[in-house]
Amino acid sequence: MKTRVLGKSGLEVSALGLGCMGLSFAYGEAMNRQDAIKLLRDAYAAGITFFDTAEAYGPYDNEILLGEAFEGIRDKVVIATKFGFKEGKPPLGVDSRPENIRAVAEASLKRLRTDYIDLFYQHRVDPAVPMEDVAGTIQQLIKEGKVRHWGMSEAGVGAIRKAHAVQPVAALQSEYSLWWREPEAEIFPVLEELGIGFVPFSPLGRGFLTGAINENTHFDANDFRNTLPRFAEENRKANLAFVELLKSIAAAKKATAAQIALAWLLAQKPWIVPIPGTTKLSRLNENIGAVNLELTPADLEAIENAAASINIQGARYPEAMQKMTQR
């Protein structure tokens, strides 16, 4: 497994991480506990050292899984977790008050069975709390040794600059993939300027870019993709043109659509570390194969030109959720 450093933070991680949310949250029924722990350990054995979780995933269950899976090899992995929602429940709204940040840090340390958090993200910016107060609280946690690096998620340029001025931000985590490229315009130049790494979540378009989903796919009743406009049946049908593009490129490379999508991300910047999630070992190994897949400048240009001709249908989030992610 190749490694990358997140910006100028010095935080070295595997070139591909594992987004752990789907093990216990958002995509239908949670995995069997022992199966989830085995998948986490298999990921580590395959070379992945960067694992992404949050108190909100469950809530709490996801951190508990990681705590058990990595007990005994804690110093071999990099664990990222998050604070920023009331009681760890996104529907209740954001909460980045200093006292809540501290309370979440202490609770996460216990669930993760560790005495430090490698990367502690603010899950969403809290407009009611000055960013200077948030960054100052993290700075104190770093001085106390409870947190080693901090990051932000779905933050805008102004918030990033304010935060970084108080305590250097190691990484920004936001959605980014071949079918959601919004961060390129304003966010990437700031990250490059300040030396901040980028961790794309949903790098495979919540599974759509793998080619495993079409207009006839039926999601579990608990799968939150049922609420996303982009995953409405008619939009899925229209968006299959994008998957066919990836498949055609993949065939020429003797790869899969998912591998092309991940290799494209890795080729964008040396400080980008995608965190695809999965519950299947076969998909995990498939994703890892993208790390050694080289896309030439000609390949990248062909992808760019073809992608520009396809108009993706459907909003990323429903209106209520969109408001929470507005920068």
Read off the DSSP letter of residue 271: T
Q: Which of 57, 116, 121, 176 is catalytic?
A: 57
How many CB atoms are closer than 10 A to CB 268?
A: 16
Long-range Cβ pairs for the range 19-22 (8 Å, 24+):
19/52, 19/201, 19/202, 19/275, 19/276, 19/277, 20/51, 20/52, 20/53, 20/57, 20/62, 20/65, 20/66, 20/277, 21/52, 21/53, 21/54, 21/57, 21/62, 21/277, 22/277, 22/278, 22/279
- Cα distance between the two ends of the chain: 34
Token pair of 325 as six digits? 């992610």
How far apart, in whole angstroms, are the C-alpha atoms of residue 276 and residue 284?
9
Q: Are strands 3-5 and 12-14 parallel, antiparallel or unpaired?
A: antiparallel
**Cβ-based burial of 7 (10 A; exposed 0-12, middle 13-18, buried ≥19):** buried
Read off the DSSP letter of residue 255: -
Known active-site residue 57:
yes
Residue 47: phi, psi to the nearest 5?
Answer: 115, -5
Q: What is residue 106's three-state secondary structure?
A: helix
Active site residues: 57
